[in-house]
Homo-oligomer: A and B are copies of this chain.
């Protein structure tokens, strides 16, 4: 009976990889990319493309593209071992860095383009007596303001030290 109180490391790893992949896909990050990231996160040494393909049962092409994407996100790096031609990959293990990196990329790729459109839309002119115009203008202005605040907050977060960040925020949010 006691047996079931413990989980094998191997089983735990699989569960972690699966959970990370699911979370990623729910937040617009490709499942495989999140899984490769998870695998490298819990791996003490750098892994080859070969090993990643094997462990996650994915094709060479998929592994290659996913690793390239992860490098583009600043989440993993290539490593070369002396006397070997193969490339090894390892993940930054600092969770605060990971959060910052993801925030930075998504801000750049998704938030900023939307802010640009919202700013354009703020300049629309029309009949101030028209309810359709008034409602449009107010919604756009409100969203623009919120998005701007989110942007500023992220900007500050990107510069922040982990301890400083959590210390300060948790003091405010008590």
Q: Hey, which bits of chain A sit against chain B, CB under 8 A?
A: 6-7, 9, 12-13, 15-16, 19, 22-23, 25-28, 41-45, 93, 95-96, 99, 109-110, 114, 117-118, 120-121, 123-126, 130-136, 138-140, 142-143, 145-146, 149, 152-153, 156-157, 166, 168-170, 172-174
- Distance in angstroms between the alpha carbons of A134 and B123 in the assembled complex: 56
Is the CB–CB distance between A99 and B42 below 8 Å?
A: no
Contacts of A173 in B (CB 8 A): 152-153, 156-157
Chain B residue nearest in CB terms to A160: B173
Number of copies: 2
Main secondary structure of the interface of A (DSSP, over half): helix
